[in-house]
Amino acid sequence: MSAVREAPAPREGSAHEGDAVPVLEVRDLERHFPASGGTVRAVDGVSLTIGRGEVLGLVGESGSGKSTVGRCVVRLDEPTGGSVALKGTDITHLSRRALRPLRTDMHLVFQDPSSSLDPRMTIGQIVAEPLRLHRLVPRSGLRARVEELLGQVGLRPEHADRHPHELSGGQRQRISLARALSVGPDLLIADEPTSALDVSVQASVLNLLADLQRDRGFGCLFITHDLAAVEFLADRIAVMYLGRIVEEAPTARLFAEPLHPYTQALLSAAPVPDPALQRTRERIVLSGDLPSPLAPPPGCHFHTRCPVAVDRCRTEPPALRELPQGRRVACHLAHPDSRLSGEGPSPEHSSPSGGTSQR
């Protein structure tokens, strides 16, 4: 199976100096928000690397901090700690002015297209805006380029004269995508780009993203809660829970053998479009809600909902351990040989790796 594309073949200009330099390197990223009654640790020590032309899927549920990571990466939000390097340049503390030339290297597609598109501009103006601001296309060629971009995202040329409110949510998201692709970025941050789209539209947008990604070779941070979409597009997947990465693995490995109990619960909760199969599936139902990031539980953040948590999980935060096959997991109980399963809180859990301090 060709699912594991480790080092994506560099396309044209492969002799670039940047081959070894990742498009994006995030180190110990923190974004803490002061709040009445404490600090919201929305992002709490996240490290990620995206190579040239690599697609990293960042998966998590609402409130996990995945969107905040995306916003910090494009400096829409100021990280309170850690660093963000774009193609080797540390952009964590660059001024807005110094950052401006780098803006064509990265682009963010937002989650909610209805609030990210100016309702008073026409679609044509919205898509043309980055082209105009970065002077990428002469004024006379704008209309043609806009129509071309609209075509690429599956819209008709006459849509250019409409306003966002005249389009469906799905169509609006395609506008955001057309706008992002207009500058030809090296790094696309796509925050739930397909969540609002219909099945057949989603298929074509995912195909389009995959095609463009392959042809233009941009790296992509694909932020989503949709496991199937991320499986389709991503080379590697990182799973976030309450501001931290709990597991990271090459896509095929993660689906074949999820190690973290949270990843397992996520995978089991997504219904499959097959009634016969769906009836036979065992669902790991998580109890309770996501804990407040104002007062995350001590120890492992997931222990309050974890079906297999033991005493150690309640006190000692698990480190994100490096495992073979390019995997990382933050769980005291997980190790790649004997896969965790929801057997209940059995203290006899077969010798957790490095579990000397247990009991």
Partner 1 sequence: MSTAHPKTAHPKNAEPASAVPGTPVLSVRDLSVSFRSDTRTVHAVDSLSYEVAAGEVLAIVGESGCGKSVTSMAVMGLLPPTATVTGSVRLGGRELAGATEKELSAVRGKDLAMIFQEPMTSLNPVLTIGRQIGEVLRRHQGLSRKEAKERAVELLALVGIPAPERRVAEYPHQLSGGMRQRVMIAIAVACDPAVLIADEPTTALDVTVQAGILEVLQSLRERLGTAIVLITHDLGVVADAADRVLVMYAGRAVEQAPADELFTAPRHPYTRGLLSAVLRPGQEGKRRLPEIPGLVPSLAAQPDACTFAARCTHADERCGTARPALTPDTGHRVACWHPVAATAPAHEEAAR
Residues of this chain that interact with partner 1 (CB under 8 A) are 1-3, 5, 61-62, 154, 156, 168-170, 198-204, 206-207, 210, 225-229, 231-232, 255, 265-267, 269-279, 283, 285-286, 288-290
User: Both tokens of residue 24?
Assistant: 């994006």
Residue closer to partner 1 by CB (options 121, 203) is 203
Given the complex with partner 1, which of 218 and 232 has the nearer CB atom? 232
Where helices occur in 234-274 by DSSP H, the ranges are: 251-256, 261-269
Q: Which is nearer to partner 1, 154 or 355 (CB)?
A: 154
Compute the distance between CA of residue 224 and CA of residue 196 in angstroms, rounded to an integer: 11
**Residue 150 vs residues 117, 127, 177, 196: alpha-carbon distances, Å:** 15, 8, 9, 18
Q: DSSP assignment, residue 7?
A: S
Q: Shortest Cβ distance from residue 95 to partner 1 (Å)?
A: 36
Query: Which CB sits closer to partner 1, 64 or 92?
Result: 64
CA atoms of 89 and 218, how far apart (whole Å): 17
Nearer of residues 89 and 204 to partner 1, judged by Cβ: 204
Q: To which residue do tokens 């397909």 refer?
A: 194
Nearest approach in angstroms of CB 89 to partner 1 is 31
Strands 236-241 and 244-250 turn out to be antiparallel
b/e code 287-296 from CB counts within 10 Å (16+ = b)? eeebbebeeb
State the nearest-atom distance from the C-beta of 357 to partner 1, in Å: 30
Q: Which CB atom, from 26 or from 160, has the smaller least distance to partner 1?
A: 160
Question: Residue 214 Cβ, how far from partner 1 at the closest point, in Å?
Answer: 10
Minimum distance between the CB of residue 224 and partner 1, rounded to whole angstroms?
11
User: What is the C-alpha separation between 36 and 56, in angstroms, rounded?
Assistant: 35
Closest CA to 179 of 166, 190, 169, 168: 190
Shortest separation between residue 285's beta carbon and partner 1, angstroms: 6
